[in-house]
Amino acid sequence: MRIVLLGAPGSGKGTQSKLIMERYKVPQISTGDLLRAAVSAGTPLGQQAKAAMDAGQLVTDDIVLGMIRERLAMPDTQQGYILDGFPRNLAQAGALDDLLKELGKPLDVALLIDVDFDNLMQRLTGRQTCGSCGAVFNRHTNPSRKENVCDVCGGELTHRADDNEETIGKRLKVYEEQTRPLVQYYSERSLLQTVKGEGEIESIYKAVSEVLESCRK
C-alpha cells in the first residue's frame, strides 16, 4: 500500500501512521522526523533546515525531495509506505508523481484526516512525543498515565520546540495556503479519501482502516 496522509499539523497523522504501520507492515516516512533527526545530528542538511523549521515555514523543496528520493530507494519501501507530512505543496506533489511514475509504482490513496481548525491549536500546544519510541501523547486529549513518561516504553516525553503558540499559528497558515490545495489535487486524480479526525483515536483508526481496506480491493 502506498499511502499519502494529508492533514493539518495536529490532525493526528503521526498517531494514525503508527497504527497503520503495525497493521500493514509498511514504514512510516515522516519528513518532519527525518528533518528533526538531521537537525539534532547537526548534519549540513539539518543546519540548512533548522531556521525554516524554527520559524514554522517550509524547508526548501530541494532538501525535502532529496530526502524522499533517498528514502524511497530503500528496500523496506518495496511493499509500500505511509508518507506523513509529505508532500506539503503542489510542487512536491508533482515531483512525487514524477518519481513514482519513473519507479512504475503509483500511489494507492491520499487520505485526509480532517480536523476543525479550532481544535488544532489545543492539540498542538498539548502534544508530547517519546524521545525513545516516538509514541505521541497529548496533555489535554490523550495524557500518558504518568506525567512525562511514555506508557509504551517508559521513555521521557518531550514537547517539540515548534509546538509553541507563535510558531503553531504560522504553521497553520502555511498549511492553509500551501498544503490544503493538495486536497483538490488528489481529488482531481481520484485518489482522495477523507476521514473525520475527531473523537477517540481507536474510532478514527477504525474509519482509516475501512478506507484502506476498500482501496486494497
Query: Which sequence positions are flagged as catalytic?
Result: 13, 88, 127, 160, 171
Stretch that binds ligand AMP, among 31-39, 70-78, 101-109, 118-126 (CB under 6 A): 31-39
Q: Does 59 bind ligand AMP (CB under 6 A)?
A: yes
- Nearest-CA neighbor of 198 among 35, 1, 8, 11? 11
Query: DSSP string of 130-198?
Result: ETTT--EEETTTB--SBTTB-TTT-PBEE--TT-SHHHHHHHHHHIIIIITHHHHHHHHTT-EEEEE--
Residue whose CB is less far from ligand AMP, 40 or 214: 40
And the C-alpha cell for 128? 508530547
Is 9 among the residues that bind ligand AMP (CB under 6 A)? yes
Q: What phi, psi does 93 have (nearest 5°)?
A: -65, -40
Handedness of CA 5, 160, 67, 15 (dihedral sign): negative
The verdict on 53 binding ligand AMP (CB under 6 A) reads yes
Asked if 52 is part of the footprint of ligand AMP (rule: CB under 6 A), the reply reads: yes
Q: Which stretch, 58-66, 96-104, 111-119, 126-134, contacts ligand AMP (CB under 6 A)?
A: 58-66
- Does residue 86 interact with ligand AMP by CB under 6 A? yes
Residue 7 within binding range of ligand AMP, rule CB under 6 A: no
Residue 46 as a binder of ligand AMP (CB under 6 A): the answer is no
* Grid cell listed for 175: 498549511
Residue of the chain from 32, 50, 120, 205 that contacts ligand AMP (CB under 6 A): 32
Rounded to the nearest whole angstrom, what is the least distance from the CB of residue 31 to ligand AMP in the complex?
3
Of the candidates 88, 93, 109, 172, which one interacts with ligand AMP according to CB under 6 A? 88
Give the position of cell 512525487.
Answer: 96
Within positions 160 to 199, which residues make up the interface with ligand AMP, using CB under 6 A? 162, 171
∠ CA 131-134-140, rounded to 5°: 90
Q: How far apart are CA 87 and CA 100, in angstroms?
A: 13
**What are the residues binding ligand AMP (CB under 6 A)?**
9, 31-32, 35, 52-53, 56-59, 64, 85-86, 88, 92, 162, 171
